[in-house]
Amino acid sequence: MNLSRREWFRGLSAAGIAAVAAPAAHAREAKTVHPEDVGMLYDSTRCVGCRACTTRCKEVNGLPLDVVKTDGVAYNAPEDLSASNKSILKLYKNGETEAFVKRQCMHCADPACVSVCMAGALHKTQNGIVAYNKNVCVGCRYCQIACAFDVPKFTWNEPLPLIVKCEMCRHRPEGPACCEACPRGAMTTGTMAGLTEEAHRRIGNDPDKYDPKIYGEHDGGGLHVLYLTSKAVSFENLGLPDVPEQPIPQTSETVQHTLYKGFVAPAALFGLFTFAQYFNERRRQAAEDAQRENKS
Amino acid sequence: MSEHQAERPLGGPIFTPTLFVLLAIIFSGAALVCYRLLFGLGAVSAMNDGYAWGIWKPLNVVTFTGIGAGAYAVGLLTYVFNRWQYHSLVRSAIVVGAMAYTLGGTSVLIDLGRWWNLWVTFYPPLYNLNSVLLEVAVCVMTYTAVLWVELTPPILEQASRWKYEPVRRVAKWGLPWVRKALPFVISVALLLPTMHQSSLGGLYMITPTKLHALWYTPWLSGLFLMSCVTMGFGAVVIVENLTSLNYRRRMDQRLLGRMAPVPAMLVLSFIAIRLIDIAVQGKLPYIWTFDFYSKLFLVEMALFLTPALLMLLRSVRKNRGGLFISGVLLVLAGTVYRFDTYLIAYKPTTGWVYFPSLGELLFSACLASTGIAVYIVMIKVFPILSGVPSRKKPTIVAQA
């Protein structure tokens, strides 16, 4: 075998490209909301900001109060979602216009946190809840990086820390405590099919009041928490991020599974590297032999 | 083979003042680790729920292993592209790589909140194959072991000259076996960085809404792979220069100069791919908005372009200082690219700020010191560096 260097390089690069490009790219299918899955519907136009929901959330989930003292009086005044708040109520205020927004895990149909979690500590339950299993969590916090809504929180000051996020009260047979606590029916729970229908019904009954969009119906590939708002306050005002309709994990999973499909590309590269070494070694030996012959 | 080409141990005293300084930093870092284990990550770091990964990821893991990718870069050149002349650079690069990866791994272990659950990464039934981080974790742990296996030849070579007979016998018995297996070990050692260095970029493919448009691309994997190779080359140039300045050894400037166009061309392709990708995605206007991110991008591009252009100049390649500075810039460019992707161009949804704490900086310094200390000891004890004069010959030392 006697290849010129140029031929050798050409062969090498062709093999390399073939190894990487061989498995055709098939976009990984989006995971969608199942009509029978559980979900929640938050109607900003109905919420009066009483915070019964977040208080009850703390009770049933055993979360500590965020005590702030004002004039010697202690209040539970949490600022944002945190390791002690799986759910929070925030206020949007612009002049006379006011609206509340409740934030918690969105329970995406196709969650980024579940996609990135190494051993499935964050996982989807049968009925669509994004749940946490601390026993296989290494605390890498990649879920926090991945979540487009910045939902998972971490107990930073614990020697044995945890990821904390809303799990839709999956430990309670009665369902989410926040929905139960709401005196105005602003936060309700039910099946996704039922909630979507109800949301459309409310918009249809009062098209002048409601923004025609249901946030979460398609956003992020579909969320298990749907939001309604009035025409006066946009979803952006409420602080709900603008996420694409394509599920967040689709790109990375498509790229990774294309590169690693059947482990063909890595195996091919391994073969290529081994063959190259064998081939180069033989050439080197031949050159050395020739040199020795010339000398003698 | 001419005398200065074969690798030899440097010899000389192990416990130097430099080593004591490094040890002091290492021990204070170790104390910090104890504190972190007792009081949690929040007690030593400024990381928060918005910036859940601080500087430990981009610096200790991604930059350190980028520097350690010299073993990958020179390995590819020597073994796959048949440039045997660069073989004299391989061993030193592998020692740097072995240390960089060991320390990167250590950093991750300390950074893991629930480190006692790390067993899950050794237990395939639990594997979530969608997780890029799982690929990184398994691959990096394997590669770290492989790098140390790659170092068995120099260690055994030295052991076969040791004064204890049993050690000599074991070393002499083992050496042919190790040499026979080495091509396969090398293949694995070239495959694994291809996988995890690309995945280190791939980690951020999950953040389309959080990573700034100029950095977010489905090609993150490829860009990280290319830039780790250029960083690796830069690191080899730096280490070669530093060891020959500090110790009694000759550096082959011509060899480094001849290698320089490789990273230069790689950097130019990196820039081209990045710009084409930005153009194809229709994100070009982001470059000339001249806001913070656009300026950051331009600085980053300049940092990549400068060493590439310098290294293409014959005068720079011949000039020791010129090539050294190009090497430093290569590493710096890759480092800045990594920090931008992991931290600076990464934006969580609301009002979070992050600036590394003293504790985080100290731990990084502790890891870097460990790497330098072990490297120095290794090159003194084992045949790692080329161009070390034989100690049997009397050397003429000028008397001051």
- ipTM of the shown complex: 0.91
Domain ranges of chain B: 17-349+359-381
- What residues in A contact B202, CB-CB < 8 Å? 252, 255-256
pLDDT for B107: 97
Residue of B53, B79, B206, B349 to mutate, interface with A, max A Cβ within 10 Å: B206
- Is the predicted pLDDT of residue A7 greater than 70, yes or no? no
Take residue B259 and report the two structure tokens written for it. Answer: 């290698």
Q: Kindly state whether residue A51 falls inside one of the protein's structural domains.
A: yes
What whole-number percentage of chain B has pLDDT above 90? 90
- What residues in A contact B206, CB-CB < 8 Å? 112, 115-116, 145-146, 248-249, 251-252
Domain range B17-349+359-381, its CATH number among 1.20.1630.10, 3.40.50.2000, 3.30.2270.10, 2.60.120.200: 1.20.1630.10
pLDDT for A27: 78
How many folded domains does chain A comprise?
A: 1
- Averaged pLDDT of chain A: 91
pLDDT for B227: 96
pLDDT for B350: 76
Q: What pLDDT band is residue A6 in, cutting at 50, 70 and 90?
A: low
Name which of A161, A277, A280 is nearest B187 (Cβ-Cβ): A277
Residue of A28, A105, A114, A138 to mutate, interface with B, max B Cβ within 10 Å: A138
Tens of pLDDT, residue by residue over A240-252, are 999 999 999 999 9
Q: How far apart are alpha carbons B385 and B377 in whole angstroms? A: 12
Q: What pLDDT band is residue B47 in, cutting at 50, 70 and 90?
A: very high
pLDDT for A76: 87
Chain A: residue nearest B127 by CA? A119
pLDDT for B2: 37
Rg of chain A over CA atoms, in angstroms?
A: 28
Chain B: residue nearest A244 by CA? B209
- Is the predicted pLDDT of residue A1 greater than 70, yes or no? no
Tens of pLDDT, residue by residue over B101-137, are 999 999 999 999 999 999 999 999 999 999 999 999 9
Q: What pLDDT band is residue A4 in, cutting at 50, 70 and 90?
A: low
Tens of pLDDT, residue by residue over A235-287, are 999 999 999 999 999 999 999 999 999 999 999 999 999 999 999 999 989 99
pLDDT for B221: 95
List beta partners, residue A43.
A228
Question: B40 in the Ramachandran plot: left (φ > 0), alpha (ψ -120 to 50) or beta?
Answer: left
Q: Kindly state whether residue A259 falls inside one of the protein's structural domains.
A: no
User: What is the rounded average pLDDT of the residues A78-98?
Assistant: 94
Q: Which domain holds residue A75?
A: 38-253
CA dihedral B220, B223, B224, B225 (to 10 degrees): 120
Using H for helix, E for strand and C for coil, what is the string for chain B?
A: CCCCCCCECCCCCCCCHHHHHHHHHHHHHHHHHHHHHHHCHHHCCCCCCCCCCCCHHHHHHHHHHHHHCHHHHHHHHHHHCCCHHHHHHHHHHHHHHHHHHHHHHHHHHHHCCCHHHHHHHHCHHHCCCCCHHHHHHHHHHHHHHHHHHHCHHHHHHHHCCCCCHHHHHHHHHHHHHHHHHHHHHHHHHHHHHHHHHHHHHHHHHHCCCCECCCCCCCCHHHHHHHHHHHHHHHHHHHHHHHHHHHCCCCCCHHHHHHHCHHHHHHHHHHHHHHHHHHHHCCCHHHHHHCCHHHHHHHHHHHHHHHHHHHHHCHHHHHCHHHHHHHHHHHHHHHHHHHHHHHHHCECCCCCCCCCCCHHHHHHHHHHHHHHHHHHHHHHHHCCCECCCCCCCCCCCCCCC
- Is the predicted pLDDT of residue B392 greater than 90, yes or no? no
User: What is the rounded average pLDDT of the residues B41-51?
Assistant: 96
CB contact under 8 A, B127 and A118: yes
| CATH code at position A189 | 3.30.70.20
pLDDT for B349: 83
pLDDT for A23: 43
Tens of pLDDT, residue by residue over B326-350, are 999 999 999 999 999 999 999 998 7
- Averaged pLDDT of chain B: 93
B:291-350 residues touching chain A, CB 8 A cutoff:
346, 348-350
Tens of pLDDT, residue by residue over A192-214, are 999 999 999 999 999 999 999 99
pLDDT for B248: 84
CB contact under 8 A, A256 and B350: no
CB contact under 8 A, A142 and B210: no
Amino acid at B108: V
Chain B: residue nearest A275 by CA? B80
Mapped onto helix, strand or coil, the DSSP state of residue A272 is helix
